[in-house]
């Protein structure tokens, strides 16, 4: 009897391992970061890197035009944010140093995620009318997009406890309806933007 169980668990282990490796497990650190927004002044991106990467790798990135027509695989080094240029001071989480060591960080991909995130952030921010709710609330929504930027579905992942505040976030998403300027590679979209979490804080 025991042997049967052992066999079952070993096969379960193997299958689990297969599933995990197939689902591109090494990308974990790329998905897990926070972007902070500051005043829109023309400037460049600054990256705070994990300790394992030397300061020389900080890059100054001049960004040229992004238009809806531009090809999916835009090189980030040649992009300019439209309509306004802005500073993004971005912090990468240093929570998983072991994984960072195993794989060299693909800065370009990370940059793209950050830029498209800030494009999304800007569009939501422009239409979000936050009510006068008590301090310290936050609501998390999960959005599902199609590659054109249209919002297919929005769900409350973690409610704030204040109905009016949750509704204001849902209204902001409904008012955006479709995100503009999100032209990116199919892989980048599938990995990051097909489903993502939006956190609203007053």
Partner 1 sequence: MKFLNKIILSLLIFSSSYFYSQLRIEITGGTDEPIKVAMVPFEWTLEQAPPLYLHEIVKKDLESFAEFSVLSPEDMLSYPTLEEEVSYRDWRLLKVDYLIVGSVLKSETEGEVNISYSILDVSRQKNVHKAIMMGSLKSLNRIGHNISDRIYEKINGIPGIFSTRIAYVDKPAANKESYDLRITDINGEGDLSLFLSSQPILSPDWSPDGKQIAYVSFEEGTSRIYTQELSTGNRRALKHEKGINSSPSWSPDGKSLAAVLSKGGNPDLYLYDLKNNNWRQLTDHYGIDTEPDWSPNGKSLIFTSNRSGSPQIYELNVSSMRVKRKTFEGTYNARARYLPDGKKIIYVHRKKGVFHIALHNLKTGKISILTDTFLDESPSVSPNGNVIIYATKDKIADTDVLAGVTINGKTKFILPSASGGAREPAWSPILDKY
- The residues that touch partner 1, with contacts defined as CB under 8 A, are 2, 5-6, 9, 12-13, 16, 19-20, 23, 25, 28, 31-32, 34-37, 113, 117, 120-121, 124-135, 142, 162-165, 167, 169-172, 174-175, 192-193, 195-202
Cβ proximity to partner 1: between 89 and 174 the closer is 174
Tokens 């902001």 belong to: 172
Assigned token pair, 199:
């956190």
Who contacts 55 (Cβ-Cβ below 8 Å, separation ≥6)? 49
Cβ proximity to partner 1: between 69 and 135 the closer is 135
Cβ proximity to partner 1: between 10 and 62 the closer is 10
- The beta-carbon contacts of 146-153 under 8 Å, at least 24 apart in sequence, are 147/186, 147/189, 148/178, 149/178, 149/179, 149/180, 149/181, 149/182, 150/177, 150/178, 150/179, 151/176, 151/177, 151/178, 151/179
Cβ proximity to partner 1: between 82 and 110 the closer is 110
Cβ proximity to partner 1: between 58 and 131 the closer is 131
Q: Give the separation between CA 149 and CA 194, rounded to whole angstroms.
A: 9
CB of 52 to partner 1, least distance (A): 21
CB of 46 to partner 1, least distance (A): 18
CB of 54 to partner 1, least distance (A): 27
Tokens 């090494």 belong to: 26
Q: Give the separation between CA 7 and CA 71, rounded to whole angstroms.
A: 51
CB of 88 to partner 1, least distance (A): 12
CB of 115 to partner 1, least distance (A): 12
């Amino acid at each position: 009897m025991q042997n049967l169980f052992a066999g079952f668990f070993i096969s379960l282990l193997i299958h689990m391992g297969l599933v995990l490796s197939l689902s591109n497990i090494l990308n974990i650190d790329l998905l897990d970061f926070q972007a902070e927004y500051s005043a829109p002044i023309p400037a460049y991106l600054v990256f705070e890197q994990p300790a394992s990467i030397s300061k020389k790798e900080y890059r100054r990135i001049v960004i040229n035009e992004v238009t809806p027509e531009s090809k999916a695989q835009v090189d980030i080094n040649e992009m300019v944010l439209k309509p306004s240029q802005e500073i993004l001071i971005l912090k990468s989480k240093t929570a998983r140093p072991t994984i960072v060591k195993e794989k060299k960080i693909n800065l370009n991909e990370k940059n793209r995620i950050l830029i498209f995130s800030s494009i999304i952030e800007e569009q939501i921010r422009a239409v979000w009318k936050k009510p006068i709710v008590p301090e310290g609330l936050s609501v998390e929504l999960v959005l599902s997009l199609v590659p054109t930027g249209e919002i297919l579905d929005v769900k409350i992942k973690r409610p704030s406890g204040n109905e009016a505040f949750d509704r204001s976030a849902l209204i902001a998403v409904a008012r955006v309806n479709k995100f503009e300027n999100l032209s990116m590679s199919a892989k980048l979209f599938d990995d990051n933007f097909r489903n993502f979490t939006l956190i609203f804080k007053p």
